[in-house]
């Protein structure tokens, strides 16, 4: 008798699980890019812990946030979304807040945003034996707190940011310039040059510059530069 009850219980559980499987799968997606209003190029960030896209489905009175990460090059894509009307906006980046856009997501829907970053960074790189030199400028169109620091970093993989860089012979291939004691007007008028030494000759590295203000702990970034070290 106990065996019969056990089989009956397992049958009910399996039927219940089968009903859950009948829910429709996500049938739409969203993609696009976030444009830096200063450089007019996709904003540079890091992934994860950089910028997130936030979606709120408007058919619900109190919708839950649906967030996903923006790629490091400022583009984003998510193909696992249910069709519907959403409020969409980028959040948590080193830029001034932007208003949400109302987007009717059907199929793969494209939407782009333009943001004003706290800082934009232009940079070039050159290499000598075991060394990379980065020359850069910090730019802004709107003040967002005191400019506090800039950083240079080198990685042997394309992912490079303030937490991902090489450590060679116990030395971090990242350096920080403290800008707290320099006036912002002076910083913005200055072209800086910083070097990363102790790299391996004959190897390819990925380098970039980051900077931040007192407004937010997150960094603005230059594009990643691929360079061969002689």
pLDDT at 46 over 80: yes
**Does pLDDT of 78 surpass 80?**
yes
Average pLDDT over residues 5-20: 47
Q: How confident is the model at residue 17 (pLDDT cuts 50, 70, 90)?
A: low
Burial code of 60-91, b = ≥16 C-beta within 10 A, e = fewer? eeeeeebeebbbbbbebebeebeebebebbbe
What does pTM read for this prediction? 0.86
For the segment 189-215, the average pLDDT, to the nearest whole number, is 98
**pLDDT surpassing 80 at residue 23:** no
Average pLDDT, the chain: 92
pLDDT value, residue 5: 42
CB burial readout 145-183, b (16+ within 10 A) else e:
eebbebbbbbbbeeebbbeebbeeeeeebbbeeebeeee
* CA torsion through residues 162, 52, 147, 180, sign: negative
The vertex-135 CA angle with 181 and 38, nearest 5°, equals 80
Q: How far apart are CA 78 and CA 56, in angstroms?
A: 14
The single-letter DSSP state of residue 160 is -
- Across 36-45, 53-62, 191-200, least confident range: 53-62
Q: Is a pLDDT exceeding 70 seen at residue 219?
A: yes
The pair of structure tokens assigned to 92 is: 């948590």
Token pair for 45: 């960030």
């Amino acid at each position: 008798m106990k065996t019969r009850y056990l089989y009956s219980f397992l049958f009910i559980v399996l039927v219940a699980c089968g009903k859950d499987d009948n829910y429709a799968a996500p049938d739409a997606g969203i993609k696009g890019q976030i444009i830096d209003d200063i450089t007019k190029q996709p904003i540079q960030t890091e992934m994860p812990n950089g910028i997130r896209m936030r979606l709120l489905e408007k058919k619900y009175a109190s919708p839950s946030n649906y967030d996903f990460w923006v790629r490091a090059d400022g583009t984003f894509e998510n193909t696992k979304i249910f069709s519907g009307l959403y409020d969409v906006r980028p959040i948590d980046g080193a830029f001034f807040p932007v208003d949400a856009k109302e987007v009717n997501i059907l199929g793969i829907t494209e939407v782009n945003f333009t943001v004003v970053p706290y800082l934009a960074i232009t940079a070039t790189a050159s290499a000598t034996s075991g060394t990379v030199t980065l020359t850069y400028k910090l730019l802004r169109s709107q003040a967002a707190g005191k400019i506090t620091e800039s950083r240079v970093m080198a990685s042997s993989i394309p992912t490079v940011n303030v937490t991902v860089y090489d450590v060679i012979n116990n030395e971090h291939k990242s350096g920080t310039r403290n800008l707290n004691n320099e006036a912002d007007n002076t910083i913005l008028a200055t072209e800086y040059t910083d070097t990363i030494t102790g790299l391996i000759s004959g190897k390819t590295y990925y380098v970039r510059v980051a900077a931040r203000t007192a407004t937010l702990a997150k960094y603005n970034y230059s594009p990643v530069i691929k360079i061969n070290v002689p």
